[in-house]
Structure 1
Amino acid sequence: MQRTFQRIATGTTAVIALAAGSLALASPSTAAAPSASSTASFSATATLAGYNNLGLTRTQARGVQCFLNTSIYTNIAEDGYLGSASWKAMQAFLNRAWNQKLAVDGNPGPATIRGLQYFLKNGNWGYTGALDGIAGPGTQAAFARFGSAGYKQFC
Structure 2
Amino acid sequence: MSTQDVSILAVNNLGLNTKQAKHWQCWVKSRGFNPGTIDGHLGSNSWKATQRYFNHYGLNVGSRLVADGVVGNNTIKALQNFLGADIDGVAGPQTRSLFASWNNTDWCSV
Interval of TM-score (by shorter of Structure 1 and Structure 2): 0.7 to 0.9
The one-letter code matched in structure 1 to 2:31 is S
Structure label with greater radius of gyration: 1
* Deviations 1:19-72 (CA, angstroms, capped at 9, x unpaired): xxxxxxxxxxxxxxxxxxx428x865x71xx10000000000000000011133
Structure 2, gaps ≥5 residues long: none
Q: Name which of 11, 25, 32 aligns with 1:72.
A: 32
Work out whether 1:135 is the aligned partner of 2:91: yes
Q: Distance in 1 between matches of 2:35 and 2:50?
A: 12
Instruction: Tell me which residue corresponds to 2:82.
Output: 119
Q: Give yes or no for the alignment of 1:94 onto 2:62.
A: no
Shift of 1:153: 3.2
* Runs of at least 4 residues off by over 4 Å: none
Distance in 1, Cα, partners of 2:57 & 2:37:
21
1:147 maps to 2:107: no
Structure with greater contact order relative to length (CA < 8 Å, sep ≥ 6)? 2
Aligned AA (1:153):
W
C-alpha distance in 1, partners of 2:68/2:26? 20
TM-score (norm 2): 0.84
CA contact (8 A) 2:23 2:103 kept: yes
The structure with the greater share of residues assigned to helix is 1
Query: TM-score, structure 1 length as denominator?
Result: 0.61
Using the alignment, how far apart are the partners of 1:135 and 1:75 within structure 2? 21
Given candidates 24, 45, 49, the residue that maps to 1:85 is: 45
Q: Work out whether residues 54 and 135 of structure 1, in 8 Å CA contact, stay in contact via their aligned partners in 2.
A: yes
In structure 1, what is the Cα distance between the partners aligned to 2:78 and 2:55? 8
Partner of 2:72: 109
Conserved in 2, the CA contact under 8 Å of 1:98 and 1:119?
no
Distance 1:142 1:119 in 2: 10
After superposition, the CA RMSD in angstroms is 2.0
- After superposition, the C-alpha distances for 1:63-113 in whole angstroms (9 at most, x for unaligned) are 000001113342511100000000000000111123422111100100100
Quick one: distance in 2 between partners of 1:74 and 1:134? 25
**Identity across the alignment (%):** 36
